[in-house]
Amino acid sequence: GAVVSQHPSRVICKSGTSVKIECRSLDFQATTMFWYRQFPKQSLMLMATSNEGSKATYEQGVEKDKFLINHASLTLSTLTVTSAHPEDSSFYICSARTTGGNSPLHFGNGTRLTVT
Amino acid sequence: AQSVAQPEDQVKVAEGNPLTVKCTYSVSGNPYLFWYVQYPNRGLQFLLKYITGDNLVKGSYGFEAEFNKSQTSFHLKKPSALVSDSALYFCAVRAPRLNDYKLSFGAGTTVTVRA
């Protein structure tokens, strides 16, 4: 149980275009989802917290107009990288929590974004 | 603010030998502690957690971790490592605040188990 599906796994786009990444909880309802960014051989950096039906909460230094997050249902959150540039190339990972205060986060398999 | 330190970038052991991956934490109050493992180009897989109770926590794939409050540590251990345990391991901490589920991750430790 507690499977999180992230799509696409890899995407290559041209500079200036936008890319949408989907994160779905397949067998549970996720009231809260988190979006992380991971640089090579580095830890995960929390970008934003996404709550179903409300605006995402962004971490300091993360541009909300560049990284648009939508959490329209209890099983789907999307991250859109708008007007992507090569410096946005990274590994993006979503995670979701099930109900229950102490339940661990469950992670998607990540999306490798390459902006050319 | 909460934080986690993983003092070793890399740990190398021979197959069959014990494996230890170190983690220390800093948080206000009693911590919620987690270990995750990441394989190349994949997301993180949950291994185990400490919330309360016994200091020795048993998790997936034969891993265990010991919570030590006086040393603010939560080291991950496996008595007999396998080549398939080679991966990137993350320790994470969460503050015990209601409705605050954000995790802070350590920098990660790359484990290499040689045959």
Which residues of A fall within a CB distance of 8 Å from B42? 109-110
What are the tens digits of pLDDT across the range A79-93?
999 999 999 999 999
Which is nearest to B112 in space by CA: B42, B43, B15? B15
Which is nearest to A44 in space by CA: A2, A93, A103? A93
Chain-chain contact of A110 with B43 (C-beta, under 8 angstroms):
yes
- Mean pLDDT of all residues in chain B? 93
pLDDT of residue A91: 93
Best of A34, A92, A102, A114 to substitute, by most chain B Cβ atoms within 10 angstroms, is: A102
pLDDT of residue A100: 65
What tokens were used for B90? 């993350």
In angstroms, rounded to a whole number, what is the distance separating the alpha carbons of residues A68 and B15?
45
Chain-chain contact of A112 with B90 (C-beta, under 8 angstroms):
no
In angstroms, rounded to a whole number, what is the distance separating the alpha carbons of residues B49 and B46?
8
Which residues of B fall within a CB distance of 8 Å from A43? 90, 105-108
pLDDT of residue A114: 96
- Residues 7-26 of chain A with CB under 8 A from chain B are 9
What are the tens digits of pLDDT across the range B28-83?
888 899 999 999 888 889 999 999 889 999 999 999 999 999 999 999 999 999 99
Question: Higher model confidence: residue B97 or residue A77?
Answer: A77
What tokens were used for A29? 């309802």
Confidence of residue A31 (pLDDT cuts 50, 70, 90): confident
Confidence of residue A29 (pLDDT cuts 50, 70, 90): confident
What are the tens digits of pLDDT across the range A56-69?
999 999 999 999 99
The residues pairing with A13 across neighbouring beta strands, listed in sequence order, are A115
pLDDT of residue A101: 62
CB of B63 within 8 Å of any CB in chain A?
A: no
pLDDT of residue A28: 86
In angstroms, rounded to a whole number, what is the distance separating the alpha carbons of residues A22 and A43?
21
In angstroms, rounded to a whole number, what is the distance separating the alpha carbons of residues A79 and A34?
10
The residues pairing with B78 across neighbouring beta strands, listed in sequence order, are B19
pLDDT at B101 > cutoff 80: no
